[in-house]
Chains A and B, each alone.
Chain A
Amino acid sequence: MLNADGHEHDDFFLIPDQELKLIFTCCHPALSFDNQVALTLQVICGLSAEQIATTFIKSKKATEQRLVRAKKKIKLAGIPYQVPDKAQLSERLDAVLKIIYLIFNQGYYSERNDQLIQERLVRQAIRLGQLIVDLIPDHAEAIGLLSLMYFHKARMAARSGNLFIDLATQNRSLWHTEEITFANQLFEQAMTLKSLGTFQLQAAISGVHTMAQTFEDTDWTQISLLYEKLLSYQNDAIVNINQAVALSYCGQASKALNILTQLESDKNVRHYLPYFVAKAHVHETLGQTSKAIFNYDLAIAQSKHPSERQYLDQKRCAIKKGLL
């Protein structure tokens, strides 16, 4: 089946349970994580080596070699084409879900891709998430991931081509209400299985955001409680940063600043732009304007995208104006 770009498949029509087996082959833990991602994108999502290379800023040749080596390992090491047995399923499925979410995020956040690839990555990630929920219906985290992806997708239009329109300034009337309803249904379905995990918690957080009619209506207390819970599963820099932002919105900016200050020694945040944006925001909330401006400057210096720089510069200028 040829499509608009003329030379390859977009959507595959494999029999679903065969495709599921193929997903477990591509995401086998005996393959490195990068190889799992590349294989899944090629074999399951139908991306060309060139498109995969663009997505991950690698050369086309290196990506082709990676794919050849990975396929060779599957064949020579006897990596099976099957859904793992019950004893291994949960652990192996977790790895598959991680790959699906990575593919989704590559489509959702990456500015490197052209819009066509972005949309395809998002569509394929959701398709795979749905496939897993259809074939393994009692896995709470799989349903949680699908819910989370729908919550994100529902807000895609409101970003209007600009990745850096933050939640505060999004036009909420552009949110896709049907998708939000569907995401909520999935979330409730996941909760009935009583097996909480990181995807369900992130979906819950997205759910709380979408319930608010305006940014000011956001139930930040609820969100910070959910981040607190998420930290007990995944205590990494990103969750801590999000937790700090949530706390700053519910009157706990000093606590937020403590969290961010403690992260300073974490080498993962040294080049992580959202860290400096969060810090700037928290300082701003505490009325520490010069520190806020300093952190916006750091964030702007790290930014690689014009639209992002422009957005951050507006934030910085707004503080400066306030000083006059």
Chain B
Amino acid sequence: MQYLLMIYSAEDQGPQPGSDEFMTMIGEYQQFTNEVQENGALLGGEPLESITTATTVRIRNNQASITDGPFAETKEALGGYYLLECKDLDEAIAYAKKIPSVHFGSIEIRPIMNLPG
């Protein structure tokens, strides 16, 4: 099965860019990426730029609205993702526990919908 592991955290939480801790975390992310790659589980995964760069688009009554910022003002925002091939949810949970941000943010696991045909 395919699972999307979405990494949510508040941007003022966890190691901040420029600090030594941040560099350590980058190393841990690299290590995790290598692990899922070697296991043949990695289908994709990228970090995202900060929510201050987010743009939200909606069309209502044929009228497009384009706004600055994320679609919902929440403290914890999507900061990156991994798309993994896992045997089952337990395997996905085991991987989620290894994502460095899990210690200060949250990982939401969503199965990819299996479209018929």
Q: Chain A interface (Cβ within 8 Å of chain B)?
A: 28, 30, 76-80, 82, 84, 88
| Residues in B whose Cβ lies below 8 Å from that of A84 | 90
- What residue in chain A is nearest B93 (Cβ atoms)? A30
Distance between Cα atoms of A84 and B91 in the complex (Å): 10
Total interface residues on B, using CB and 8 Å? Answer: 12
CB distance from B54 to the nearest CB of A (A): 28
Does any Cβ of A come within 8 Å of B87's Cβ? yes
Enumerate chain A residues within 8 angstroms of B88, measured Cβ to Cβ: 78-80, 82
Closest to B88 in A: A80
Taking CB atoms, residues of chain A closer than 8 Å to B23 are: none
**Residues on A with beta carbons closer than 8 Å to the beta carbon of B93:** 30
Complex partner residue of B86 from A78, A82, A88, CB under 8 angstroms: A78
Q: A28, A30, A77, A82: which has the most chain B beta carbons within 10 Å?
A: A77
B90 touches A80 (CB 8 A): yes
* B113 contact set on A, CB distance < 8 A: 76
Min C-beta distance of B104 to chain A, whole Å: 21
The minimal Cβ–Cβ distance linking B10 to chain A, given in whole angstroms, is: 24
Task: With a 10 A CB-CB cut-off, give which of B86, B89, B109 has the most chain A CB atoms.
Answer: B89
Residues in B whose Cβ lies below 8 Å from that of A76: 111, 113
CB distance from A78 to the nearest CB of B (A): 4
Which A-B residue pairs are the 6 nearest by beta carbons? Answer: A80-B88, A78-B1, A78-B88, A78-B89, A79-B89, A77-B111
CA distance A84 to B90 in the complex (A): 8
